[in-house]
Copies of this chain bind each other. A is one copy, B any other.
Amino acid sequence: MTTNLLLVEDNTELAGSLGDYLSEVGFDVDYAFNGKSCLELIKANKYDVIVMDIMMPIKDGLTACSELRENYHIDTPLIFLTARDSLDDKLKGFSSGCDDYLVKPFAPEELVCRLNALRNRGKIKNLNQQTIGDLKIDHQLSHVYRKEVNIDLNNVEFKILAILAQYAPESVSSTRIEDMLWPDGTPGSDPLRIYIYRLRQKLDKPFKSSLIKSVHGKGYRLAVPN
């Protein structure tokens, strides 16, 4: 998963060294040296994240950023990198439409952290979808699919599956699951087995192979095919 990054910085020396560092840690770096050329690049290519200096010739960063947002409706995550550290400068930065603002001098590691945070936010939906074999779990919407077929689970069933999925392919003890399902004490009739049964009816019975395995004396586990 490469991240396409545009580095906009008129100081060629800084651009070079910072760009090298970012390339080393896995970013795919393009360069622009002023606000004008950066707009052209952005319109031509699609970037995951933009790193931009504020003070630049021809067109400064603030102007470039707000043009990007207002005129071209491009909402690629953008972080300003600048020596201007006053509150007023920061407010101007954010009101021009940036997503983050980092004051020079900075540790390159912090920049990388912030870039990752920016990038992940846009793709967050993928992060909360989990795939185990032919099983897909959307933790955001509480949706489950097996072989592209929607499986309709209720609250408790979904929670059990989520727990098993989290620790798969390891087994999870019944008491552990029960503690997570009923933090204030498990009801007195051993309902977990019944829910496991129901989960199996929906998740395993319609298919050839069964995903939920009992581990005698230990608990349950989610089998991951190969």
* Copies of this protein chain in the complex: 2
Q: Are B110 and A73 in contact (CB under 8 A)?
A: no
Residue A208 lies at the interface, judged by CB distance under 8 Å to chain B? no
Q: Which of A18-26, A111-119, A187-195 contacts B (4 or more CB under 8 A)?
A: A111-119
Q: Are A99 and B117 in contact (CB under 8 A)?
A: yes
Q: Using an 8 Å CB-CB cutoff, how does the interface string of A70-99 with B read, 1 for contact, 0 for none?
A: 110101010000000001001100110111
Residue A107 lies at the interface, judged by CB distance under 8 Å to chain B? yes
Most chain B CB atoms below 10 A, which of A98, A122, A142: A122
Selected contact of A109 from candidates B87, B142, B217, B218, CB within 8 Å: B87
Q: Are B99 and A87 in contact (CB under 8 A)?
A: no
Q: Are A97 and B114 in contact (CB under 8 A)?
A: no
Tell me, in angstroms, the Cα distance from A166 to B72 when the chains sit together.
Answer: 10
Q: Which of A8-16, A52-60, A124-132, A199-207 contacts B (4 or more CB under 8 A)?
A: A124-132
Q: Are B100 and A117 in contact (CB under 8 A)?
A: yes
Q: Interface residues of A, CB < 8 Å — how many?
A: 47
Tell me, in angstroms, the Cα distance from A121 to B117 when the chains sit together.
Answer: 11
Tell me, in angstroms, the Cα distance from A221 to B143 when the chains sit together.
Answer: 13
Q: Are A110 and B87 in contact (CB under 8 A)?
A: yes
Residue A1 lies at the interface, judged by CB distance under 8 Å to chain B? no
Q: Are A155 and B121 in contact (CB under 8 A)?
A: no
Residues from chain B with a CB closer than 8 A to the CB of A94 are: 113-114, 116-117
Can you sample 20 A-B contacts with CB below 8 Å? A70-B166, A73-B125, A75-B122, A75-B124, A75-B128, A77-B122, A87-B109, A87-B110, A91-B109, A94-B116, A98-B117, A99-B117, A99-B121, A100-B100, A121-B122, A140-B170, A141-B221, A142-B215, A155-B217, A155-B218
